[in-house]
């Protein structure tokens, strides 16, 4: 009987720990938001102009990929409506850099790793708060093994980098960093 009582209490202690842990998480979540940032209630729309590729090396689908991923990010992670122009949040700019080169040179002077870098100049216009406007460059890169053929890796690398760039832009707009 004593063993059964001990096992029963022991199983309840685990339940109490779980309830206590969940309570703490809910309390913290009530005090602190885990979202990237907040969008003011008066902001209802966004617009994204086409980002032309002005880099010296032109990836033929990069402009379209970047522009569409930026639209998709705002569509999926905000309640804002897309407008063709002059949204409360308006984005315009261009791709300024697209480079592919070696980064890790080995002792035999061959590259072990190559790096694809993409830089985008972004002008953000906040029609509801001019102090939040900015014009800045965002740059990201991805490394890949030099033993791989760049042509077969390029689209995967571009998708990865563009995703990071779009996240950076979204975070800057919503958290004012």
Tell me: do 137 and 122 sit in the same domain.
Answer: yes
Residues 6+ apart with CB under 8 A from 165: 66, 118, 120, 138, 139, 140
CATH of the domain at 104: 3.30.160.150
Q: What is the pTM of this model?
A: 0.74
Do 115 and 157 lie in one domain? The reply is yes
Domain tally, the chain: 2
Range of the domain at 4: 1-34
Per-residue model confidence as pLDDT tens digits over 114-138? 999 999 999 999 999 999 999 999 9
Note the pLDDT tens digit of each residue in 21-33: 555 545 444 444 3
Sheet with 45-48, strands from edge to edge, namely: 81-83, 45-48, 89-105, 111-126, 134-145
Claim to verify: residue 26 and residue 90 sit in the same structural domain: no
- Return the pLDDT at 30: 45
């Amino acid at each position: 009987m004593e063993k059964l009582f001990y096992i029963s209490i022991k199983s309840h202690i685990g339940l109490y720990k779980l309830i206590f842990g969940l309570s703490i998480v809910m309390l913290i979540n009530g005090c602190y938001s885990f979202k990237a940032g907040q969008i003011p209630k008066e902001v209802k729309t966004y617009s994204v102009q086409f980002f032309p590729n002005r880099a010296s090396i032109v990836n033929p689908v990069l402009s379209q990929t970047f522009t569409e991923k930026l639209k998709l990010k705002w569509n999926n992670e905000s309640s804002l409506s897309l407008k063709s122009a002059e949204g409360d949040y308006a984005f315009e700019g261009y791709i300024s850099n697209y480079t592919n080169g070696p980064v890790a040179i080995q002792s035999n002077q061959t590259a072990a790793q190559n790096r694809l870098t993409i830089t985008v100049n972004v002008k953000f216009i906040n029609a509801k708060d001019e102090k939040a406007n900015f014009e800045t460059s965002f740059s990201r890169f991805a490394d890949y093994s030099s033993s791989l053929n760049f042509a077969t890796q390029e689209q995967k690398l571009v998708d990865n980098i563009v995703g990071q760039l779009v996240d950076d832009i979204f975070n800057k707009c919503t958290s004012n960093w």
